[in-house]
Structure 1
Amino acid sequence: MSIPDPSGPPGASGTSKTLHHGLQVLELLVTHPQGLSLTEIAEGIGVHRTVAHRLVRTLEAHHLCRRDRFKRISLGTGLVRLAEPVEQDLRTLARPVLEELTDAAEASAHLVVRENAEQVRMLMIVEPRQARMHVAFRSGQLDPIGRGSAGLAMLAARPAVAGEREEVARARERGYAVSTGEIAPGITGISAVVPTGRDAAETSIGLSLFEAPDPDRLGRLVVAAAHRLGALLK
């Protein structure tokens, strides 16, 4: 359960050992959205339980982690506040790209970000101005990463793994993911990962519509939009 240390040994010249361990706690909790016990955290970052206790208490004071009634520790709401400026910049850059996509496809366009190892979050949806009917979703909605085109596109951006869904492999081949009825009955989603040059796929852009008579054309529109946004984010 331990996490890799990409920054070298704690206490290296010019670094803070305590801050290093505190960030390790947060990184560990990201990979365990169901929460961890204090002992599991101590073992995960390789420190004594007393040190882990002080780290968690400090993070709790800043609302960066929290304990449930079973004393399991998970990420706190303070992280949302810290992330808001970054997400606001992302929304600002994405809006004109989404508006262009929704006009071209005459369907609702969405921006989805990875929330944790198991979930994705709808960050923004732009509805078409001309279509007679369109799909509407609530911003902030959380969905499993393994269901729906947005999460499937993120999974497809990773190397293949044993037992993965056929839809993930197909998305990897095509460059975009397609799903029907996985997030809402009768709704088709078409999504592609936004290329940012980072190792992990954290953002996808896509369409939600009632019918997709030509998914290849829509897929090409989505991929082109994803690349436009990726160029803005680099």
Structure 2
Amino acid sequence: MREKKKTRGRLVQSVQRAAKILKCFTANTSELGVTEIASRLGLAKSVVHGLLITLEAEGLLSRNRSGKYTLGPGLFGVAELFRRQMNIAKVAYPVMENIHRKTNETIFLAKWIGKEICCIEIIKSKLPLIFNLEVGHRFPLGAGATGKVLLAFLPSEERERIIENLELKRLTPKTVVDVHKLIQQLEQIRRRGYEVTYGERFLDVVSVVAPIRDSSGRVVAALGLGAAKARASEEAVSRWVALVTKGARQVSYELGWVADETS
């Protein structure tokens, strides 16, 4: 109980109240006045009025001719971003299941969440694996196939800016810690269209990762397979590469990407 109270103490009251105001709007209640919102939340009208003015200034609420408030255009961009994020996982999951069924290995989906690369979906292998991957897991940018694939396909200026400030840490003897070598590897990934790494983050793990594109051709996620090195024969890795790259292209097509002749 004490820990719960401590967590609540860190909440910012004004932000919490603003969030509650936004939650007052539903499919059945698309417009509300100051008095109605104040009554629903049990707050003084003066407090609610100040919050409403701020939310309107930020584009999160709009005021109509009758003086009542509705959800503002600023929320649509956030909602669209959330929809796309969830849509990628929904579209990718059947493809992930297919690869998992054919390999029995761990299959995962990762994407940029802010400035970090996170796992947003996973189907775990029942075979022995040296690391435990969960939804929400954060991938390092310079080590391992996932981080390098998503870094490789960023716009050049953004990629260079990140690399300039990137601290390369040695996680295993296989980890790349030379920035010039990393840049060369990223160029190879862009040409090849996928990456295979052996023990860069976990010594006995092999990863195969390929990029997923949206309708604009922008890389928005990465589809990956993780397996124990003991199972990674040359024949197995070749098969995994074919399945993962094909799966990533299939998800990309379903997101609206149309490959050109050079893709």
Place the TM-score, normalised by the shorter chain, in its bin.
0.5 to 0.7
- Unaligned ranges ≥5, structure 2: 1-52, 62-76, 161-179, 257-263
Deviation track 1:152-185 (CA, whole Å, cap 9, x = no partner) reads 1123335778844333233223221122333334
- Matched residue of 1:202: which SS? strand
Q: What does 1:62-101 align with in structure 2 at a 5 Å threshold?
A: 83-101=81-99
| Alignment check: 8 A CA contact 2:213 2:220 kept | no
For the aligned residue pairs, the C-alpha RMSD in angstroms reads: 3.3
Percent identity over the alignment is 19
Q: Quick one: structure 1 residues 196 and 80, their matched pair in 2 at CA, closer, same or farther if it must change by over 3 Å?
A: closer
Distance 1:193 1:186 in 2: 23
Distance 2:146 2:102 in 1: 19
Q: Does 1:112 align with 2:110?
A: yes
Q: Which has the larger radius of gyration?
A: 2
Please name the residue that 1:149 is paired with: 145
Between the two proteins, the alignment pairs up a number of residues equal to 162
Distance 2:123 2:223 in 1: 11
- Greater shift, 162-171 or 206-215, is seen at 162-171
| Alignment check: 8 A CA contact 1:143 1:183 kept | no
Please name the residue that 1:225 is paired with: 247
Distance 1:136 1:80 in 2: 31
Q: What does 1:29-40 align with in structure 2 at a 5 Å threshold?
A: none
Deviation track 1:21-80 (CA, whole Å, cap 9, x = no partner) reads xxxxxxxxxxxxxxxxxxxxxxxxxxxxxxxxx999x66x99xxxxxxxxxxxxxxxx99
Residue 224 of structure 1: CA displacement?
0.2
Distance 2:205 2:151 in 1: 20
Residue 219 of structure 1: CA displacement?
1.1
- Matched residue of 2:135: which SS? coil
Distance 1:203 1:140 in 2: 14
Please name the residue that 2:66 is paired with: none
- 1:213 partner letter: S
The counterpart of 1:170, out of the listed 188, 210, 227, is: 188
Please name the residue that 2:225 is paired with: 207
Distance 1:142 1:86 in 2: 20
Q: Which runs of 4+ in 1 moved over 6 A?
A: 79-82, 159-162
Residue 204 of structure 1: CA displacement?
0.7
- 2:148 partner letter: L
Distance 2:192 2:238 in 1: 9
- Unaligned ranges ≥5, structure 1: 1-53, 63-78
Distance 2:201 2:82 in 1: 25
Residue 200 of structure 1: CA displacement?
3.5
Please name the residue that 1:181 is paired with: 199
Please name the residue that 2:127 is paired with: 132
Residue 121 of structure 1: CA displacement?
0.8
- Matched residue of 2:219: which SS? coil
- Matched residue of 2:148: which SS? helix
- 1:225 partner letter: G
- 1:125 partner letter: I
| Alignment check: 8 A CA contact 1:168 1:177 kept | no
